[in-house]
Amino acid sequence: MMHTAVGWHVELEFMEDDQHTRAVAMVRLPDGTEVRAQGHASRHRVDPQQPRVGEEVAGARALNELAMRLLTKAHDEIDAASGRTSHPIHV
């Protein structure tokens, strides 16, 4: 039995101002498809400025959305190949 190593590289970019952080996550799949998702975080005006925390929250939200989009893509491909509606894929 032969095993094939496959790797994906996920890119995260952040745009920030004093109160908001926006993250964009992107993964390019071996079939050439790019899947993108966004996440946001807002700092309450009385909270201290901690840009790293905003990045962590926005990044986590973008990665979570990316995961959901990948699950939906996989689910749609299963349905297309089988010609029927498959069981939901759970996280």
**Does residue 68 belong to any structural domain of this protein?**
yes
Say how far apart CA 56 and CA 83 lie, in whole Å: 40
Q: Is residue 62 part of a domain?
A: yes
> What range does the domain containing 37 cover?
9-81
CATH number at residue 70: 3.30.160.240
- Let me know if residue 61 belongs to a domain: yes
Q: Give the side-chain half-sphere CA count within 13 A for 19.
A: 4
In whole angstroms, give the CA distance from residue 41 to residue 46: 15
Token pair in block for residue 28:
């390019």
Residue 91: the pLDDT is 66
CB-based contact 26:6 (threshold 8 Å): no
Q: Would you say residue 86 lies in a domain?
A: no
- Whether residue 48 is predicted with pLDDT greater than 90 in this model: the reply is no
pLDDT the model gives residue 89: 72
Which one has a higher pLDDT value, 88 or 39?
Answer: 39
Q: Beta-carbon neighbour count of residue 41 at 10 Å?
A: 21
Is residue 31 one of the residues assigned to a domain? yes
Q: What is the pLDDT of residue 7?
A: 87
Check: CB of residue 50 under 8 Å from CB of residue 56: no
Q: How many domains does the chain have?
A: 1
Q: Would 87 be classed as within a structural domain?
A: no
In a domain, 3, yes or no: no
The Cα-based distances of 42 to 23, 86, 88 in angstroms read: 12, 38, 32
The answer as to whether 2 is a domain residue is: no
